[in-house]
Structure 1
Amino acid sequence: MSKAAEKNTQQLNTIFVSPMRSYTNAALDYYDQAVSAQLDAARAYADMSVAQMRLWLEVSDADSLKKALDSQQKAAGDMVERFKNDAEKLTSLGQTFMQESQKMAEENMKNVTDVSQKAASEVTQKVTHL
């Protein structure tokens, strides 16, 4: 491979390929974590609901009714707390991904600027030697 072709390949890798790989990797990590958090939350909500349904099936007298009502009130509070925590977790994941993406974009712009300045300098040197 000629030096010019090798240099063009290296520049293409620096400007496009490497940043796209980095971004895609970060995006996949984000989506993996977000989907996992959502699946965990859905499982927890389903488990809470099934437990409450089972408790209501056992209601047969005033005492068991009181127990079911008390349990439902506690479960509602637990569910609200879980919603809050899950929302905070997803918000944090989104913010982290956004910050990483912004950092990668800034680094890529720096790399593009460096490559452009180097190429311009080389062109200037060649023109000067003509």
Structure 2
Amino acid sequence: MTNQTVNQINEQFETYFGAPARAFAELTISHVEALVNTQVEASKVYTELSLQQVRKALEIKQPQDVQGYIQGQQDVAKELTERFKGDAEKVVALNRQFAEEAQKLTQQNVQAASKAAGSAK
């Protein structure tokens, strides 16, 4: 094999396999990073909310304090429900965006391969 042939093979490999694989890997890493950041943020919020509730429970000193605490629990439950919903919507949006970008990458790679196959004829 000549150097020109080896260079051509390397170039084709990079064009049809290397570059698309790296692009998809970068997209995947970015997606995973966004998901992890979302989970870390949610964990911080849920942890802080839980600790606040424990602190409030420790402030109960009289029977009437219990009623206030229980009423506060309803507000916390509502806040958690809204937070869960928002977090779920954020994850769905991230997954949708990932799927769209992955599809776009795939289409670009198929078009490039088709174009190359057409010019090779």
Same fold (TM over 0.5): yes
Percent identity over paired residues: 27
Higher RCO, 1 vs 2 (CA within 8 Å, ≥6 residues apart): 2
Query: Is the Cα contact below 8 Å between 1:11 and 1:115 reproduced in 2?
Result: no
**Which has more radius of gyration?**
1
Q: Deviations over 1:80-108 (max 9, x none)?
A: 00000000000000000000000000101
TM-score (normalised: structure 2): 0.92
Provide the C-alpha distance between the structure 2 equivalents of 1:117 and 1:2, rounded to a whole number of angstroms.
25
How far off is 1:19 after superposition?
0.4
How far off is 1:14 after superposition?
1.2
Gaps of 5+ in 2: none
Note the aligned Cα RMSD (angstroms). 1.3
Which has the higher mean CA deviation after the structures are superposed, 86-95 or 2-11?
2-11
1:8 paired residue number: 9
Q: How does 1:6-85 map to 2 (within 5 A)?
A: 6-85=7-86
Provide the C-alpha distance between the structure 2 equivalents of 1:14 and 1:94, rounded to a whole number of angstroms.
27
How far off is 1:46 after superposition?
1.0
Provide the C-alpha distance between the structure 1 equivalents of 2:25 and 2:99, rounded to a whole number of angstroms.
13
- What is the count of residue pairs matched by the alignment? 120
Aligned residue for 1:101, secondary structure, equals: helix
Gaps of 5+ in 1: 121-130
Amino acid at match of 2:101: E
How far off is 1:2 after superposition?
3.0
Q: Deviations over 1:15-42 (max 9, x none)?
A: 1000000000000000000011011111
1:117 paired residue number: 118
Aligned residue for 2:60, secondary structure, equals: coil
